[in-house]
């Protein structure tokens, strides 16, 4: 396990979000992206909570933001270099953003996310 400061980890999450292609970034709104420590032994690297775009109806108004949580410690536990952390953060962010767009786990795995 490598040690990456909370500040640096948050920078990596921001960089991953900034790397979203413009056609996706322009539709990514009302989402709070959080970093939490999580648990070292958890298999969960990230979590999307909300209503995917593909499930929203005309009555979808006045709701609280969707939430994406990226778990720092499980990602660090699976990494031995900062480059590995950066790549895993990017994959995890893309995976959770994929859920926001309504893409299921099976298809995300096929895409390498």
Burial class (CB in 10 A: 0-12, 13-18, 19+), 41: exposed
Q: Would you list the domain boundaries of the chain? A: 6-105
Looking at residue 36, its pLDDT comes to 98
Domain 6-105, what fold? Answer: Zincin-like (3.30.2010)
pTM for the model stands at 0.91
Q: How far apart are CA 13 and CA 70, in angstroms?
A: 8
pLDDT digits (tens, 9 = 90+) for 55-96: 888 888 888 999 999 999 999 999 999 999 999 999 999 999
């Amino acid at each position: 396990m490598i040690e990456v400061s909370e500040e640096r980890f948050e920078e990596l999450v921001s960089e991953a979000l900034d790397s979203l292609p413009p056609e996706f970034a322009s539709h990514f709104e009302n989402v709070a992206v959080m970093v939490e420590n999580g648990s070292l032994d958890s298999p969960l690297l990230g979590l999307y909570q909300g209503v995917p775009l593909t499930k929203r109806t005309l009555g979808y108004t006045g709701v609280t933001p969707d939430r994406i949580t990226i778990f720092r410690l499980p990602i660090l536990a699976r990494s031995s270099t900062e480059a590995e952390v950066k790549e895993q953060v990017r994959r995890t962010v893309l995976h959770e953003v994929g859920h926001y767009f309504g893409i299921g786990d099976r298809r995300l795995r096929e895409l390498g996310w």
